[in-house]
Amino acid sequence: MSDNLLLSLLWALPLAGSVLVLLVPGRSDLAVKGTALGVSALTFALSLVAFSSYLSGGLAETPLADRAALNTLTVAEGTGAVSLVDEPGDLVFRGPWIPYFRIQYFLGLDGISLSLVLLTGLISLLACLASWGIDRSVKGYFSLFLLLLASMMGVFLALDLFLFFVFFEFMLLPMYFLIGVWGGARKEYAAIKFLLYTLFGSVFILVAILVLYFYAPDGAEPLHTFDALRLMARTEHFTGTIFGFGVQSVVFALLLIGFLIKLPAVPFHTWLPDAHVEAPTPISMILAGILLKVGGYGLIRLAWPLAPVGAFELSWVVAVLGVVGILYGALAAMAQTDFKRLVAYSSVSHMGYVTLGLAAMNLIDPRYYSYGVNGAMYMMIAHGITSAGMFFLVGVVYDRLHTRDLGQLGGLMNAMPVFGGVTMLIFFGSMGLPGLCGFVAEVFVVLSAFNYSYGLAILAAAAVVLTAGYILWALQRVLLGRNDSHRGLPDMSMREVAVAAPLVVLTVWLGLFPQSVLGWVGPSVDRVVAAVASANGAMPEAEEVALSDAAGGSSR
């Protein structure tokens, strides 16, 4: 399959699916759901195809920029005739889109984006399966659902800033309607809050993109390109000031605000609890599992590499925001009485680790920083799995009891043992219990933070107590105790088990064998680290303190 076909299908297939769903004849809800499920499954299968060709092609070893350089696009000055070279099998495609502004249809995958594409495929498939209970305007729901899937895929695929921005904005639309139409009691408020909040952030991103377009130099001339990779390669020339601030600092700050709102980081987070509480269960899964990752992805893919010097200058602000987020989210989670709101705040806390991991920029020995960025990346994947699972489990309870009030739950362990076991495991995964996925991310970030600032690292480490506090307390209020009114509740159905099982397996697998993911994500992350470090002048000269190779027992 050519790169163009494969990469384009990843977003075009669900887009076509969203139209197809509307065309399903008759009033059969099952046919609509089946079609949507089929399209989601196919999309996931496509992401697996991309994954296998990434692995079999050994693409983890070649930097994305090198691969992209082989795919060229030239537009003849006078005639506008397009000639493009597409290197087959490298998961990069560069095509023309709006040649006048040098906007390209530029798609590509590396470890960072591929892991999130896989996550998107999987979580969407599971969310689609979890949407079986939707009974209102089924066609509209699934059409919007697939539209959302298409735009999320596009965000992770795009390497042209303009294209990225188009997908980024387009995501909001289906989400707005999915919350606003199929949501809970305060759905209009939550939907409009979500929409305006994120649109507000988008403005900053747009300005940053335009600044890059007009300012980024190519020798004496401005570069005038939206090609993210070319811009990244030019960062060392990207100096000068805007209103007395360094251009890089300005660009970084703009991108940072935009993506921190999406992440979300304290104090830009209050759209999240409302959106989560009001959204229907599968949409909460997507929101927590994927949409929040768009923020983190934007930071790691764009903000840091596009403005590495600015990032380094502002890193302490970001690190403080991260630690504040971790603690604030955990404390706020502890005070919640609504099960879903508690889980939502746990997301705020966990996304703080992403921010901190990225910001722990000690560049003296970038290998430690690499642990921070990899930890942040791992947190996105791990949180994508556990938080989707947590929201799903909240939904399972809500479907049966029609309440999320922690005061009224309790005793579910005895009534629903399978549910109890799954809940314990997923929540422990979120708590950062060793052997489960959250631990790896958390511990990498905290350990790496010790290379940046002892104070912040100790505060971040202290958060594990709060995390244990709110998770265990929540489990106690939901599962434990005795509650005779819940006796006889049906345990999880086969469909529900089918949704939960992959999440459970991944929670354990990612906790035990992190190298199975980091083996192909890590090289891409390390290249980001290397680029950031060398842009700040830290890379070439290795400092004098000798390090042992803790490379394992091969020598021992």
Partner 1 sequence: MMDAWQGWLYVAAVVIPLAAFVVQILGLRLFRKQTALIATGAIASSLILSAIGFGSYFIASGGMPSPHAEGHEGESPEASPAAAGAFSEGRAAPLAWSGNWTWVSLGRGLLPDRQPLAIPIGIRIDALAVLMFLMVTFIATLIHVYSMEYMEGDPRYPRFFAYLSLFCFSMLGLVASSSVFLVFVFWELVGICSYLLIGFWYEDRSNSDAANKAFIVNRIGDVGMLVGLGLLWTQLGTFDIAEINAGLSAVEARQGDALGRITSEDPGAVWNVMIGGTERSIPHWILVLAGLGIFAGCVGKSAQFPLHVWLPDAMAGPTPVSALIHAATMVAAGVYLVGRFFPLFSAEVLLVIAYTGGITLFLAATIALVQVDYKKVLAYSTVSQLGFMMLALGVGGWAAGLFHLLTHAFFKALLFLGAGSVHHAVHTYDLRPLGGLRRKMPVTAATMLIGTLAISGVPLFSGFYSKDAILASAIHFVSERPGHALLLVLPASGAAMTAFYMFRMWFLLFTGSSRGWSAAGLAPEHGQRDDPAALAHESGPRITWPLRILAVPTVMIGWPLTILPLAVAGLPFHPVLEDWLSSAAPLPAQPLGSAQSWAAATSLLVLVVGVGLAFLAYHPSKTIRRIDPARMAAHLGGLYSLFVNSWYFDEVYQALVVRPCLAIGRRAAWVDRVVIDGIIDGLAAITVALSRLDRAIDASVVDRLVSLVAGMIYVLGGVGRRLQTGRLRSYLMVLSIAFVLLSVGVLVWVVR
Residue 54: CB minimum distance to partner 1, A: 18
Q: How far apart are the first and last CA of the chain?
A: 46
Please report, as residue ranges, which positions from 194 to 233 form the binding site for partner 1 (by CB under 8 A): 196-197
How far is Cα 87 from Cα 69, in angstroms, rounded to an integer? Answer: 10
The verdict on 191 binding partner 1 (CB under 8 A) reads no
**Residue 466 binds partner 1, judged by CB under 8 A:** yes
**Residue 44 vs 268, nearer CB to partner 1:** 268
The DSSP result for 531-542, as a single string, is HHHHHTT-SSSP
Site for partner 1 in 339-368 (CB under 8 A): 365-368
The CB-of-284 to partner 1 minimum distance in angstroms stands at 18
Nearest distance, CB of residue 267 and partner 1, angstroms:
6
Nearer Cβ to partner 1, position 219 or 553? 553
Tell me whether residue 41 or residue 472 sits nearer to partner 1 (CB atom).
472
Nearer to partner 1, 169 or 365 (CB): 365
379 is a contact residue toward partner 1 (CB under 8 A): no
**Does residue 472 contact residue 433 with C-beta atoms inside 8 Å?**
no
Chain residues 478-517 in contact with partner 1, contact rule CB under 8 A: 479-482, 514-515
Rounded to the nearest whole angstrom, what is the least distance from the CB of residue 380 to partner 1 in the complex?
16
The answer, yes or no, to whether the previous bond of 282 is cis (omega within 30 of 0) is: no
CA distance 72 to 345: 45
Stretch that binds partner 1, among 85-93, 100-108, 191-199, 398-406 (CB under 8 A): 191-199
Looking at the Cβ atoms of 23 and 465, the one nearer to partner 1 is 465
**Is there binding between residue 374 and partner 1 (CB under 8 A)?**
yes
- Minimal distance, residue 410 CB to partner 1, in Å: 9
Handedness of CA 263, 267, 271, 277 (dihedral sign): positive
DSSP state of 158: B
- Of these, 51, 141, 226, 328, which contacts partner 1 (CB under 8 A)? 328
Size of the site for partner 1 (CB under 8 A): 79
Site for partner 1 in 255-314 (CB under 8 A): 267, 269-270, 273
Residues 80-139 that bind partner 1 (CB under 8 A): none
- Ranges within 430-459 binding partner 1 (CB under 8 A): 433-435, 439-440, 443, 446-447, 449-451, 454, 457-458
Q: How many Å separate Cα 457 from the centre of its chain?
A: 23
**What's the alpha-carbon Rg for the chain, to the nearest Å?**
23
DSSP class of residue 302?
I
| Secondary structure (H, E, C), 39-51 | HHHHHHHHHHHHH
Asked if the bond preceding 523 is cis, omega within 30° of 0, the reply is no
The token pair that represents 490 in the structure block: 């049906």
Residue 10 or 532 with smaller CB distance to partner 1: 532
Out of 177, 392, 419, 428, the only residue in the binding site for partner 1 (CB under 8 A) is 428
Which position among 62, 184, 414, 489 is part of the footprint of partner 1 (CB under 8 A)?
414
DSSP string, 321-364: HHHHHHHHHHHHHHT--BHHHHHHHHHHHHHHHHHHHHH----S
CA distances from 273 to 189, 269, 431 (A): 12, 8, 19
